[in-house]
Structure 1
Amino acid sequence: MLLFCTVQCFAAAFARVLRSKAAVVMASMLCCSPVLPATGGHAVVVGHVSTQTFSSSRRKAVHVHPAAVAVKDDLSSSPAVTVVEEAERTTTVAPAKKKKAARWRPPRLVVPAVADADEALLGEAMAAAAKAEKEKEEEAEVEGEGFWVASRRGVRHAMEDGYGVITHKIAGHSQLAFYGVYDGHGGRAAVDFVADRLGNNVVAAAEKQRRSHDASPSPAVADHVAAAIRAAYLATDSEFLSQQGARGGACAATALVIDGDLYVANLGDCRAVMSRHGAATALTSDHTAARDDERTRIESSGGYVSCGSNGVWRVQDCLAVTRAFGDGGLKRWVVAEPEVSRTRLAAGCEFLVIASDGLWNKVSNQEAVDAVAAASGSKHSVDSCRRLVDMARRRGSRDDITVMVVDLKRFLSC
């Protein structure tokens, strides 16, 4: 009996201890938990996890059942509470990064896509425009007083043809005129020099000879004028070669009209052809190594002439013409002395065609005369020159082409 009483007292004391601890835990929960308005005389705590940090190296987390808990006066009926010890973790929270101010950028340029077909058409149009502009720069047409010129560049890197005209009054003679077509090789230096100097040299020399032999018979005057033209050619050549670094050369065909006489001179393969009653008359003879007399002249001077596999005869295996301005390295054989012819202008002398070999390599003398007559009719124009240029180009001429047509009828009154 005594033992039973002792056990009962001990149990009662143990129960009081348990109730005291539960009260302490519930008080702690009530202090840390939000309290909602009472419903039916009871406070409601929303389930959450509360973490307390202690001074020791460990911390205790009190977990409450997530369901709503009704707190009654009798603490013994409180929900089960579990205390779990966890190893303390050190959590480092990075400070919030400041947002960089956004840079202002211009709006994107949206280029509309071009269909392949449209892009191809655009490219073709641009190429055609560039080609037309290039051809315009490479072509020249001149319509002067009694003469017309058409010129077109070949496949070379630079246009090497040129021309010169002097038609103004000289010493009171309105019927004195000079016309020339030049074909350069080895660059433009020689052809530019000749175009600038030769006409003035020829006119000055011829006029001087004419004035000094006014009282002489006409044949004698003609001989002196022809000699003056030869001297002017040689003087022009010497002037060019005396320049430092002179390179290249140039062929030429010129016509001088003075006192009703037509003096035609040439070097190389530029040519002058006159239309007389519709028939073509060549007033020059090409200076090429294929000519027997030219080949003999060169060989007698210690040079040689060879014929290549393409059938072209060349001086010293180099130059196809045997007479020209410049060409200092070959001057011993390639001379600048022209051949000069004189023709008295009379009825039937219609026009003169002077051109570079770019035309004559593809068009015959008579074809040239016929084409000019057909294009001009009763009145000459630049169309006749253009027709000849087009004819040579269609036939495959790849060289520079320069054509000049001179009206001879205007000099017949002299």
Structure 2
Amino acid sequence: MIDRYFIFSKSLLCCDAGHTALPRGASLFVAPFEFLWTQGVIRRVLGWCTNAFETARFSWICRRTRTVSDWGLLRLYGSQEQQESHMCFKLNDLHKMAPRVFSFNSSRETGKGESFHVMHGFSKIKGKARHPMEDVLVSLYKEFKGHKLGLFAVYDGHLGRDVADYLEENLFDTILDEPDLFCNPKTALENAYHSTDAVILQMSHPGGSTAVTAIVVDNKRLLVANVGDSRAVLCEAGEAKQLSVDHEPSAERQLVESRGGHVTHFPGDVARVDGQLAVARAFGDKSLKQHLSAEPHVCEVILSERSEFMILGSDGLWKVIENQVAVDLIRGIKDPEEAAKCLTSTAVQKKSRDDISCIVVRFHA
């Protein structure tokens, strides 16, 4: 297995494997700043750096290249802008330093993180199709406008993962830019989904993506939105409660037809919009957009002591595992990463052929 690395840099570098003297094809990785700061990693790193870094301010920058599967930079702004330093650390070395620091990485198959009394774990398994993995997961924590947020999402791309990649990098930023997010979350989430879709449609990406996003606010409120068939399920005192809506063409036939499209089961036995797409709502899909919608279903939940955990998953999971079965499978597994791995491995055993991805979020950790 190729080692993954953290990259710390005082200025934004045009980074590739050759530039950083890493092995060709290495996967570069960085955790969000909030993880690194809350777990003391930044303080340790500052101790290894020059004095110029001691008064540094920090911001998180993550970008993607096509030659390296994933890479990121933690940009440090200090008092001596002309000085530059960057260091590479093996992922395992940092893991020993702060084992709870990691949130997500698109090339990793499993992982976990913890902050603000919330724990999460994720797992994903590539499906049987010949195309590359198209599911993208997001899980990170952020202090924002006096609130402690947990941000979680599953994006299930189709016809490539370009749209899912764009959502990974931009959707939560767009959501947090909405001024009424905490006082009128339904309108804010709808606006953010629509504005994001409008930007995607201006790009050249031919494909699209479903999405389910969940925001844990101060471990007291849960804001969930979705388009397509990626699903959110809450466990309350052992009972499974679906928080999202599966936007299947058969259920949305009237909407599709009102926009000039049609729903058919040909070819095959799955209902599809214009015989092509098996969901009626999604980001992107420029060629079908006049017959599709990016209007999200939005749900707000007040978390209580009865609220145990939440599962976010792509349809590769939910096609073969019912909501209550999923909850019962993992309710006794306290480690959310192990719980997520249990769900994806069970989906494989049940002959799911699609990409399978899920995030398990435990409240009141």
- TM-score normalised to structure 2 length: 0.67
Does residue 324 (structure 1) correspond to residue 309 (structure 2)? The answer is: no
Aligned partner of 1:261 in structure 2 is: 221
Aligned partner of 1:308 in structure 2 is: 266
Q: Quote the sequence identity (%).
A: 37
Pick closer, same or farther for the CA change 1:350–1:186 going to 2, 3 Å: same
C-alpha distance after superposition, 1:138-189 (max 9, x if no partner): 7611111111100111123200000112312112322x22210110000011
Aligned partner of 1:279 in structure 2 is: 239
Residues of 2 paired with 1:140 and 1:357: CA distance? 17
Matching residue within 297, 306, 310 for 1:352: 310
- SS of 1:290's partner is coil
Pick closer, same or farther for the CA change 1:346–1:170 going to 2, 3 Å: same
C-alpha distance after superposition, 1:166-214 (max 9, x if no partner): 312112322x222101100000111111111111111222xx2157xxx
Q: How far did 1:380 drift?
A: 2.7
Aligned partner of 1:233 in structure 2 is: 193
Q: How far did 1:227 drift?
A: 0.5
C-alpha distance after superposition, 1:352-397 (max 9, x if no partner): 00000000001010111011113x1xx3331111111111101111
Matching residue within 165, 171, 181 for 2:145: 171
- SS of 1:346's partner is coil
Q: Which has the higher strand share?
A: 2
The amino acid that maps onto 1:346 is S
Q: How far did 1:335 drift?
A: 1.2
Residues of 1 paired with 2:167 and 2:107: CA distance? 21
Pick closer, same or farther for the CA change 1:362–1:210 going to 2, 3 Å: closer
The amino acid that maps onto 1:250 is S
Does residue 200 (structure 1) correspond to residue 200 (structure 2)? The answer is: no
Equivalent pair of 1:180/1:199 in contact (CA under 8 Å): no
Residues of 1 paired with 2:181 and 2:245: CA distance? 26
1:20-99 alignment to 2 at 5 Å?
none
Structure 1 residue ranges (4+ consecutive) displaced by more than 3 angstroms after TM superposition? none
- SS of 1:237's partner is helix
Matching residue within 145, 151, 159 for 2:133: 159
C-alpha distance after superposition, 1:220-254 (max 9, x if no partner): x2xx22111111111111111112x2210000111
Matching residue within 274, 289, 313 for 2:249: 289
Residues of 2 paired with 1:262 and 1:297: CA distance? 28
Residues of 2 paired with 1:235 and 1:369: CA distance? 34
Aligned partner of 2:110 in structure 1 is: 141
- SS of 2:177's partner is helix
Aligned partner of 1:110 in structure 2 is: none
Does residue 339 (structure 1) correspond to residue 324 (structure 2)? The answer is: no
The amino acid that maps onto 1:165 is S
Equivalent pair of 2:181/2:189 in contact (CA under 8 Å): no
Matching residue within 140, 154, 158 for 1:181: 154
The amino acid that maps onto 1:382 is E
Matching residue within 164, 180, 183 for 1:209: 180
- SS of 1:274's partner is strand
- SS of 1:227's partner is helix
The amino acid that maps onto 2:163 is A
- SS of 1:288's partner is coil
Aligned partner of 1:392 in structure 2 is: 347
More RCO (CA 8 Å, sep 6+): 2
Residues of 1 paired with 2:256 and 2:315: CA distance? 22
Residues of 2 paired with 1:210 and 1:315: CA distance? 32
C-alpha distance after superposition, 1:273-328 (max 9, x if no partner): 0000001001111001121xx11111122211112364211111111100000001
Aligned partner of 2:59 in structure 1 is: none
C-alpha distance after superposition, 1:334-366 (max 9, x if no partner): 111101011111120000000000000010101
Residues of 1 paired with 2:346 and 2:166: CA distance? 30
Root-mean-square deviation (CA, aligned residues, Å) is: 1.7
Does residue 252 (structure 1) correspond to residue 216 (structure 2)? The answer is: no
Task: Say which one has the larger Rg.
Answer: 1
- TM-score normalised to structure 1 length: 0.59
Q: Which has the higher helix share?
A: 1
Pick closer, same or farther for the CA change 1:152–1:139 going to 2, 3 Å: farther
Equivalent pair of 2:122/2:336 in contact (CA under 8 Å): no
Please list every run of 5 or more consecutive structure 2 residues that lacks an aligned counterpart in the other structure: 1-105
